[in-house]
Structure 1
C-alpha cells in the first residue's frame, strides 16, 4: 500500500453542525489536517467582521475547509459507478477541497484589499513552498503539490475537477452558504444539498445536473442571492470593515512618516513594503491583529487610537445611501466641511460599494466569464439553467450594486453649534 492509498486503522470523525459528521479515513487527509498551516485556519474567521452584526458568526476557515472536503467526499462516493469519472483523481479532489482556502489572511478580503494581496497566491505558496503541507503532498508524489495548486488556481487540465471546487455550483459555495446561514441564524442560506448531490453527474469537462433536480438548484441560486444581500453585504458589518481598513491604512501611513509607536507594528513591516515572506504571512492571524488593536488604543495618534477603540468596542460609523452619479458634488462639499471642523475625511468619510452577480449565463470572450449550470434532460441533451427556469432567468446576468457613505455621527453630534455642523448634518440626512 502506498502513501496515496494508505488508510487509518480507524475512521476519524469531526462532529459538524452543518453536515452532522466529517469523515476522514485517508492518512494523507488526516496528516494535512494536523499541519501547522492548516491549524492556522482556526484563527481566521470565515466571515471576517460579520460577527459584529450577527454574534453567532464566530466560525473559522478551518470549519469551512473541512466542510468543503466532506461535500467533495460525498460527491465522489456518488460517482463510484460513473463511467465519465476518473477514479484515480480522487485524492487530488479531496486535498484541493481541503486546502482551497489555505492562504486566507486575517479578516480575509479587507486585509487583501488594503495591502493589495491575493489569498490564492499565498495558497499556492503554502502548497509549493517550504511547509509541512508541502512535505505531506510531496510524499504522495513529486508533482502532486503542483497538481493541487493548479486545481485551486483553476489552471488544471481537467476542468471537471476544477468545477467541483470552483464553479457556479460547487462544493465551496454549497458549504459556505449553509454554514454561514447556520452560524448567523438566518433562514436564507438553506437548500436541499442532499438532493443536489444525488443529481450531479460528471460529463466531459463539467458537472451537469439531472433536470429532475432543477428546483433544488433554483433554491440554491436564490439562497446565494439572499445571503449576499442580507448577510455578506450587511451595512453594519461593512461599517466595521471600513474601520478595520482605515486602521491598517493609518498604521501604514504613520510608519512611512516615521511616527514613533509605543507598540511597533513588527508583524506588519513586510506588508508595508510589499516584500512579504511566506513565514511572515503564516505568522499573522486575527489573534495577532487584535493584540495590536488593543495596544494601539494607547497611541498618541488620535486617529489610530480612536479607530482601534471603535473596532474593539463596536462604536461603528453610521451610513447613508450614496449615488455615485448624483452625489459626488455633495461628497466634495462634505470633505471640505470635515476639514474645516477638524475631522480628517480620509479616515472618517468613506464610500463603500457592494456588488454581486448572482448567476450568469455563458458570454464567450467576456472578462471573468462564468460557465453556466447545465441541466441534463432525459434524452441526454443539455439545457442551460436560465433557459429552463423562470426564477433563475429573472436574475441571470443582472449585476446588483449598492453604495453607502460612512461617517462618525457621534463626533459630528458633539461639534459646537455652528453653520458647518448644521450643513454637515443636512447633507448626511442626520436632521
Structure 2
C-alpha cells in the first residue's frame, strides 16, 4: 500500500491517502460532510467549534491507520494477523488496512444537518441506517466494487450495526474504528478539544498507540490494551466523561438544539428528512441556515420565532436550579410540576423542559480487555480505580422566554 497523497490537518499534521482514495473523497456523499458541522450549534458557545464531519472522517482514517501500523511494528505481522484468522501475507495486511481506512472514512456519511442535533428527524434507524443507504450511492458503491468484492462486502457488514455475526477480522476492524477505544472516539475527542480551545478531551494518544493490541477473549478477538497502557486508557475515558459534562451537555447549546429541532419540524416536509438517499444528500447545514435566514426575515413564516431565537441570540434562558433525580421520569415529573408553578405566575413564559440523559456507554470503557504480563486477561474496570465508577445522574432544567424571579 502506497500512501502517496496527503492533506494538512491541525490535529494529526498530515492525513495520508492512497491515490485511489481520491475519487471516493471527491464523491457527493463524502464531500457533503464538509457542510455538516461536527458539534451542531456549539459554535454559538465556543466560537472555534466550526469543524466539520469531513475533517473528523479524515482524522479517523489517519488514527485507524496509525493504530494498525503501530501494532504491526510492535507485534509483527503473524502475531497481528494470526489471531484474526488471517494467514501472514502482505496482501492480507493491505486488505485489512484498506477495510479499516474505508470504514473510517465512510462511517459518518449518514449524519443529518448539525449532526446529532437533528438525529431524531431521520427515518428509522438513525444516521447508521442512512449511512448504509448511502453506501449504495454510485460514488461510493462503484469505488468499493473497484477495490474488490471482499472489501466491498466487508465495509458494508462492518458499518451495519445489526450484523453481529462478523468473522474475527471484521469484528476487530469494527472495534478498531467504531469501538469504545476506537479511532472514531480518539479523533473526535482530540479534534473537538483542539477546535474549542479546551483541554478536557486531551489524552495520551502515543501511549495508547503503543499499547493497544488484539486480545483473545471469551467473545473472540477484540481490541484490547497491554497492562502498561492502563493509565492512558483511564485518561481517554476521563477525557470523554469531561467533554460530555463540560461541553456536549452545555446548557446554552442544549436550548439552542431545542429551538433548532422545533424549527426543523415545521419547515421540513412532514417534519422528517427524506428517506431517499439522493434527496437526503441535498440537506446540509447550509440549506438549514438558509431556511433560518428566510424565516427570520418573514414574520409570517413557519418557525419565525425559533429562527430569531437562534440567529439573534434570543434563546430561552435557564430558570431556577438544576433538578437531579433517580431517573428521567423522576426528573421530568419534578420539572413539570415546577413549570405549572411558573405559569401560574406568568402565563407567557413559554417554558421548555430539557432533561439530560447521559449516554448509556458513558462509562462503558470498563469492559476493555487488558492483557496482563502473565498473559491473563482482565477488564479495565477490574483493574482501574477510576473507570467503571464515572456516573452522571439524570438531570434537567427549565428554560423560559424571559427569566423571572420566584415570588415570595
- For normalisation by structure 1, the TM-score amounts to 0.80
1:135 is matched with: 142
2:206 is matched with: 194
Shift of 1:161: 1.4
- Is 1:408 paired with 2:401? yes
Tell me the number of residue pairs that the alignment of Structure 1 and Structure 2 aligns. Answer: 373
1:206 is matched with: 222
2:389 is matched with: 394
Shift of 1:65: 0.4
- Is 1:73 paired with 2:73? no
- Cα-Cα RMSD: 2.4
Mapped to 1, the partners of 2:65 and 2:313 lie a distance apart of 40
Distance verdict in 2 for CA 1:375–1:311, change over 3 Å: same
Distance verdict in 2 for CA 1:31–1:170, change over 3 Å: same
1:421 is matched with: none
Distance verdict in 2 for CA 1:360–1:141, change over 3 Å: same
Contact 1:247 1:304 in 2 (8 A): yes
Shift of 1:330: 2.2
1:175 is matched with: 187
Shift of 1:302: 7.4
1:225-374 correspondence runs (5 A): 225-251=241-267, 268-269=268-269, 272=271, 276-301=275-300, 304-320=303-319, 321-322=322-323, 323-334=331-342, 340-341=347-348, 345=350, 348-356=351-359, 357-360=361-364, 372-374=367-369
Picking from 10, 14, 36, the partner of 2:7 is 14
Distance verdict in 2 for CA 1:133–1:245, change over 3 Å: same
Larger Rg: 1
1:58 is matched with: 50
Moved more, 87-96 or 313-322: 313-322
Distance verdict in 2 for CA 1:273–1:250, change over 3 Å: closer
Shift of 1:221: 0.8
Shift of 1:119: 0.6
Distance verdict in 2 for CA 1:185–1:301, change over 3 Å: same
Mapped to 2, the partners of 1:300 and 1:188 lie a distance apart of 41
Contact 1:353 1:403 in 2 (8 A): yes
1:426 is matched with: 406
Contact 1:335 1:349 in 2 (8 A): no
Gaps of 5+ in 1: 252-267, 363-371, 413-423
Shift of 1:352: 3.7
Shift of 1:381: 0.6
Contact 1:54 1:184 in 2 (8 A): yes
Mapped to 1, the partners of 2:273 and 2:312 lie a distance apart of 30
Contact 1:233 1:354 in 2 (8 A): no
Mapped to 2, the partners of 1:23 and 1:246 lie a distance apart of 41
1:109-133: CA deviation from partner (whole Å, max 9, x where unpaired): 2212145551111111111x23311
Contact 1:115 1:272 in 2 (8 A): no
1:84 is matched with: 80
Mapped to 2, the partners of 1:211 and 1:143 lie a distance apart of 35
2:89 is matched with: none
- Is 1:99 paired with 2:102? no
Contact 1:178 1:189 in 2 (8 A): yes
1:148 is matched with: 155
1:363-402: CA deviation from partner (whole Å, max 9, x where unpaired): xxxxxxxxx111111111111111111122432xx45322
